[in-house]
Amino acid sequence: MTAPIQTWLVEPLQRDVAVALERLAASDDVRRIAVMPDVHLAEDVCIGTVVATERMLYPAAVGGDIGCGVAALRLECDADMLRDETAAAWLLARLYEHVPALQHAVARAPELPMAIGDDVLSDPRLERIKRREGRLEFGTLGRGNHFLEFQRDDEGSAWLMVHSGSRALGQAIRDHHLRDAPRSTTGLAYLDGGSERGRAYLHDVEWALRYADVSRRAMAERVAALIDERFGTNADWASFVSCHHNHVRRETHDGTSWWVHRKGAIPAALGEPGIIPGSMGSPSFHVEGRGHEPALASSSHGAGRALSRSEARRAISRRDLFRQLEGVLFDRRRAEQLRDEAPRAYKDIRAVMRAQRDLTRIVRTVHPVLSYKGT
């Protein structure tokens, strides 16, 4: 049997995306698929896909950056204070030091918080990676579309948004559990959720989710301290929200218990808070879920790429980047490396939000003031 596929789209599916979805729908034990409006091609399983199974776990339907997600925090200062170029230069210089893209200097690497440091992963090799890379990369952004952004809401208040994940640990967990895993009739590797091996994967996934969540919180805390140092203002920690968009967990939908895999999609149960970022030059949205069961109570995790990185680098020049980011502060010295992250490389976030109006309700719109990306 082929699982039903339901879609919420901005545009018709590209042929390679449709082929990948058809393969997924024909895979063993796949019962339902929901396709988000930010869907785009990725290895094995497309980003922007939600998959429900009864028994089998598909690590490719979670991806390597397990626990990747977004956090938001309101800063008790006027966003216009951040537009000052002197203040922006000061912030950028300290962000490179306190929130590096790749890893901390060995001498400055933090100890892992007890909640994740003391929880043992399922294999000694993963434990060794945790003790080294886990420390060096804790509280770091990562490359690609990961970012830290200062934003302005419609009332003029400043917000912080952080997009990061489990870094090297998530990829190591995925690769470890895929090693010698059986394959479905379509060639996708799987684990039995009720087996010892499946339970080990689920334990490690849960650990990676906590690592990513605590790491985002640590970055927000460092930035809040910098804002206090520069402007003498606090952060409103009651406003803090963090959500994952790469995970698998047991959920009940339409009276049936399933393993729900989300790869580039956030959970959107009724009233559940979420964050949907746009590009570095477009608005982002704080949302509440509508609990839409046909979509497995999910929504998009962002705008989704319109151009691959290689296509963007061919199509978008430095001049184009500067024009598309007019009014947004960023490190202009890194313009060459940021061309594949230009706004035009992404879908129109407002069109994405219109396509999923049955899935989420917009609570707040925030606009970029200063964008900091790892390159």
* Any domain includes 340: no
DSSP letter at 12 equals P
pLDDT at 1: 76
For 205-253, give the secondary structure using H, E and C.
HHHHHHHHHHHHHHHHHHHHHHHHHHHCCCEEEEEEEEEECEEEEEEEE
* Any domain includes 331: no
What DSSP line would sit under 135-156, residue for residue?
Answer: HHHTT---STT-EEEEEEETTS
Task: Say how far apart CA 293 and CA 278 lie, in whole Å.
Answer: 25
* Any domain includes 334: no
* Any domain includes 350: yes
* Any domain includes 52: yes
Number of domains present in the structure of the chain: 1
Chunked into runs of 10 residues, the chain (375 residues) has average pLDDT values of 95 96 98 97 96 98 97 94 89 93 85 91 96 94 94 96 96 96 96 97 98 97 95 96 97 97 98 97 97 98 95 96 95 93 96 98 97 85
- Name the amino acid, one letter, at 344: R
* Any domain includes 317: no
pLDDT at 188: 97
Question: Of these residues, 40, 245, 247, 301, which one is catalytic?
Answer: 301
98 is catalytic: no
Whichever domain contains 367, its CATH number is: 3.90.1860.10
SS3 275: strand
Indicate yes or no: pTM above 0.85: yes
| Model pLDDT for residues 182-234, shown as the tens digit of each residue | 999 999 999 999 999 999 999 999 999 999 999 999 999 999 999 999 999 99
* Any domain includes 131: yes
pLDDT at 144: 87
* Any domain includes 314: no
pLDDT at 308: 93
Tell me the residue range of the domain where 39 lies: 5-306+346-373
pLDDT at 163: 97
